[in-house]
Chain A
């Protein structure tokens, strides 16, 4: 356990009130969006400037104290879980939009700025920041960078990595790295790429420069109802193979459709086996051509198709999709949200296999997901008060992730490894590959003080467990839309 003089040194780095150690006051920081996993932090540091971040890191380096960085704490894999012997470096006070550069179409932000605040700051100029995780009203841009967050529109506009031009990063050694900037290329190795998605393991991101894009002038949504999973899966591939890149392409299976319909009355056909929501955006002429082609493809694929006539109907159709997660609360007291990605063409096959696994484990599964990217979010429904159900849910979750790996996919598409998927990482990578990850980390953090024990399992121990459990309909961040 670190000593009191360390606390004094830490406090001296920060503004008055910038260090919290009171057991009661640190409680809100015990967990991130993965609420099943809790730990009380030894101290919470709330820096206001990059200089303060650097000073805190310096003390931690000198004293050998572990550092866990936290943005908004909406992560779903336990990446920001604190340590009892460490500092939780929380960046929520650093939330200034430092610059909007209309000439370059960029915005430069402190790490605590929320995702949505970026688009709001530039909307008056007809611009937006494209990646839109559904936690966007709460999650921070620093956390988005650390997780390489996706969103409903990343099929067309890319992930965080495709929309970030530059970073400033503080390392535990006391260096400030300036990676990228406002240009497209950088000399030497692409350290910017490796920093994105690195889950707070390599350094603390203290500034982010993002690309801004023009707002699309026209958006159109189609709803397609299928009587057959295979047909719905094939339709996804058919749209992509036809050379159309929708802004979003989302799928829901029957349990999800019913739950969403009961909750939001979006006008979904309750008896459909699956529905696809396809959004097309861009210049009017292009959107009109594409909408007609998508309609034909969907109808040829056996779907009943509806095109939203106006903005109100478009929003209603999306509302059903966005309500699917909270709607689950009505089906079961708890659910566990998975996040695997598979090749699109394997969708029907994998969904069929998930149904079999669901029957085998005696637990219901609802599917609501980013079909266009093959990013599944199976929701395992259970009741933690029934003996053994939580364990069965976890076992079913593991089996589903194994299925994703076997289908040529991955154990996490956008939520990160954190502490939750350490075991699954052992499934996906060989010992030599994991070792290479550890050596990569050591190049930035030789003593392993940054977010220890996360993201990459040690070779000796691949056995930490956890889960996102939602009890009695009480979600973490109940005010957020769910995807």
Chain B
């Protein structure tokens, strides 16, 4: 078991520490649950708020992380935050917003969960990112450290809270998007970013083709863009920075019409009309390489064209290198292509040799 490290060190000012004995016991209880599951060979399925259960359930005997909650360490002047897995995302977002900071990956908060709209641990395990993904990075880009319980029932720590760390393999980033198949995330440390002074949303009427051409032209220029979203004959663009920088960029890009900034959260959380109108039917995400185009007037296209949403099942034809993920509807074959999947399976066995963690998630 990992020894607590650094505890003897005098804490610098401004550190907020909230280690309760109860929470410590909760981590130990989670560890013991995994160890016991391994002993009796009865797999576990880790759940937070189950807000992303539609992506496919974890299978196994449910094990809730909700008891293990709370922000352990938040240092605004370090731009780092460590929180336990069961902490509601809303609580984390609120804490950082109070200090003028943001979670750079801006994870979605889906309604329909049990007891909340997503936990911190769940957000990391699922690895989903919001509208600023191409500019502020995804979950993996913000990861600094994790504490996990592996399939052997061992508590392990990797990484830490510092910005640069190349000691050992980068297990922290590997946890992002692994959907709990490599370990139960007890807590995680992430890098934050300062919130911009000003954030403005503009709207440009155009078709999908013109929207794409604009996005690609802008990507080659040093502009303070932090979001693009094409939908129903209009491209929305978000600019962030100092008020002067945003004003200058707006003029340069000839963005005349200001629009409602609510669109970004609505799209992120699938509360936008595009997602609600088709709520009964299938929903597919298409991930598109930067050198390919997936342009359709009836799609919602974000991330400079790298992510498209369709209110239908995955199309038969996708651009080369693109892949589809089913968010609602009949799942398609998951995981990577060919031999990559073989290595992914071996890696999973390296963390969970007896297959006790999230058996329902294919690899």
Contact = CB atoms under 8 A, between A and B. Distances in A.
A477 interface: no
B323 A184 contact: no
B322 to A, nearest CB: 7
B222 A282 contact: yes
Contact of A442 (B14, B245, B350): B350
Given A189-B336, A349-B12, A183 B290 contact: yes
Contacts, number: 301
Contacts of A191: 336, 340, 343-344, 347
Interface stretch (A82-90, A389-397, A411-419): A411-419
Interface in A121-147: 125-127, 147
A6 interface: no
A444 B290 contact: no
A183 B173 contact: no
B167 interface: yes
Interface stretch (B21-29, B155-163, B201-209): B155-163
B1, B167, B323, B339, most chain A CB atoms within 10 A: B167
Contacts of A430: 1-3, 156-157
A279 to B, nearest CB: 15
A401 B340 CA distance: 37
Contacts of A162: 137, 141
B168 A425 contact: yes
A179 interface: yes
A20 interface: no
Interface residues of A, number: 104
B334 A187 contact: yes
Interface in A370-425: 370, 373-375, 405-417, 421, 424-425
B222 A179 contact: no
B339 A175 contact: yes
A355 to B, nearest CB: 17
Interface stretch (B72-80, B114-122, B269-277): B72-80
Interface in B126-184: 127, 133-134, 137-138, 140-141, 150, 152, 154-158, 160-171, 173-174, 176-178, 181-182
A413 B170 contact: no
Contacts of B15: 345
B178 A148 contact: no
Interface size class of chain B, counting residues whose CB lies under 8 Å from the partner chain: 35 or more
Given A194-B169, A345-B78, A349-B10, A410 B160 contact: yes
A455 interface: yes
Interface string A199-224: 00100000000000011110000000
B289 interface: yes
Contact of B8 (A102, A186, A406): A406
A154 interface: yes
Interface stretch (A47-55, A285-293, A317-325): A285-293
Nearest to B194: A243
Nearest to A146: B166
B166 A197 contact: yes
B321 interface: yes
Given A187-B336, A188-B341, A214-B221, 20 more contacts: A102-B220, A105-B290, A148-B166, A161-B170, A187-B334, A190-B127, A191-B343, A198-B170, A216-B222, A286-B244, A289-B242, A343-B12, A374-B164, A375-B164, A406-B9, A409-B162, A417-B168, A421-B167, A436-B150, A443-B349
9 contacts: A148-B170, A183-B287, A183-B288, A189-B347, A285-B244, A370-B164, A413-B163, A443-B347, A444-B343
Q: Which 10 residue pairs spanning A and B have beta carbons closest together?
A: A243-B194, A104-B290, A104-B291, A413-B164, A193-B173, A286-B245, A285-B244, A188-B335, A443-B346, A241-B77
Interface of B: 1-3, 5-6, 8-10, 12-15, 75-80, 100-101, 127, 133-134, 137-138, 140-141, 150, 152, 154-158, 160-171, 173-174, 176-178, 181-182, 193-195, 197, 216, 219-224, 241-242, 244-245, 247-249, 287-292, 303, 306-307, 321-323, 325, 334-337, 339-344, 346-351, 363
